[in-house]
Chain A
């Protein structure tokens, strides 16, 4: 085998100048069109968000007043309010937080500190990835079967507690992932210093690692809760009611939450109800905005870099 001499190669190929035309003008024109298309996509996204917010504001602001916040739902749109829905959402949020925080944070600590790189941790990691792809309404079907029917003596059937437990399962993966990330950001040197002083693993976690990771964990928790209060489908499936004119008294009460109340109003044919649905959306969005602002504040205020 002989290596070809590049000199002869060049001689063999007769370059045809027509085959190679840079045609820069045309290519740059297409480049500009592409750049315009790319920016248009972003502008469209912004326009959609703006029109959504403006549409809701125009429809909802006129009917948003104190009476709307403090009245129970009514068959007459001018008297209807979302008191029971607001209280239901707050009850729901507190219960979900109480259930999901220890579960999620405990699981996160276990996976990151106690069982890192074991088959159990890997199994759960794969499992969490899979759960993220399960539609939320499927969680509703699970809740209907397990919490509403099988555990009825404890949960009281179609109750606040059943709803809260279902939502807790739904947001658990989010909290676990957030906890693990927050713990991972804590440098190992701190742990090793703790071990060197003779602390057990749990003591190191409790005294050293966890306090540092807490802002990150709380941020994840708040984001998970804001997902939970916007969620509608699983709660409809487990049987939240759409018309409730009393406040929940305990965890076994029937309940409604803001998204379900909004859904109920949107699905009615009368336009007046559509307007108060928009008012309800404003209340819900403001609540979400406040929660997200809290999360960002926490992140910026307490975030430490090592």
Chain B
């Protein structure tokens, strides 16, 4: 007996392979282009900064000043090079930052000193706070406590920076004024709040590194008679060092690039020096100050924010490269 097979209608089954292959290719190309956007962003950032920074260094303002100094017009390619060197020298050696005055001076170290000071204070706050929190979470807290504490740190990490700015200006500064004579705007409160802002970052990245240290190392230390603290300080922390340092460096570069806290709480007064009780102006605060004003494109002030942005970018880039290098050099691998 034979079973009547249903008559197979070959028209019903038509795998359109050509169409499928075309769709496959176009999806691949389209999504590849999307992925390229992130590379294009980097290229865009680098080119924008380089282009406008050159425009800044070759600005007529410097050219005329140099011409006045040497007593003849500065022209041609050689003139461009001279102007560039002249403005670069002044950019790096001037001790005043007065770009909006008629007798403008562009000493970038005035802004850098403020950025270094606020970030330095931030590190002094974030390093102990973040590292100890990380140790607490991974070594001391029970799993239950940890599941409560971690979200708290995550909330701290998710607070918008403008809120931290409010907190620094209207809570921390008045609080500090009870104890030390600080002015209404000062680098100290900005730095402290910056430190609080980067603490969750230090804590959570360091905790990952500490958590990754294998149990056997700890057990080895305990077997030698070390106490818990001795184990942590002399075995666990050195083993996790590369992760801790890289978390700290990432946090520092975050603090250097942070804008709203320092703009709101540290003030707008370009000032060279490291006095944390007076108003100062960081690199980012300057960019905000110029952006808020009505600055036409192509003006010197407009080009200045790109020169400052370039400096900022270079500093964070060096820090990030250092962090990558450090991790690669000092990473301990465990099975």
Contact = CB atoms under 8 A, between A and B. Distances in A.
Given A106-B34, A133-B250, A145-B48, A239 B160 contact: no
A281 B171 CA distance: 14
B92 interface: no
B259 A49 contact: no
A133 B44 CA distance: 16
Given A30-B229, A49-B152, 13 more contacts: A42-B136, A42-B137, A107-B31, A123-B39, A131-B38, A135-B257, A137-B288, A232-B260, A233-B161, A233-B259, A242-B292, A285-B160, A288-B158
A37 B132 contact: yes
Interface of A: 22, 27-28, 30-31, 34-35, 37-42, 44-46, 48-49, 51-52, 55-56, 59, 102-104, 106-107, 109-111, 114-115, 120, 123-124, 127-128, 130-131, 133-142, 144-146, 149, 169, 172-173, 176, 198, 200-203, 226, 229-233, 236-239, 242, 259, 262-263, 266-267, 274, 277-278, 281, 284-285, 288, 292
18 contacts: A27-B230, A31-B229, A38-B133, A41-B128, A41-B129, A41-B132, A49-B155, A104-B34, A110-B31, A128-B38, A130-B42, A131-B41, A134-B316, A135-B256, A145-B44, A259-B160, A281-B163, A285-B163
A203 B21 CA distance: 11
Contacts of A200: 20-21, 23-24
A274 B288 CA distance: 20
A212 to B, nearest CB: 18
A188 B320 CA distance: 34
B30 A106 contact: yes
Contacts of B312: 135, 137-138
A274 B165 CA distance: 12
Contacts, number: 251
Nearest to A40: B132
Contacts of A203: 20
Contacts of B306: 141, 145
Contacts of A114: 28, 31-32
B229 A107 contact: no
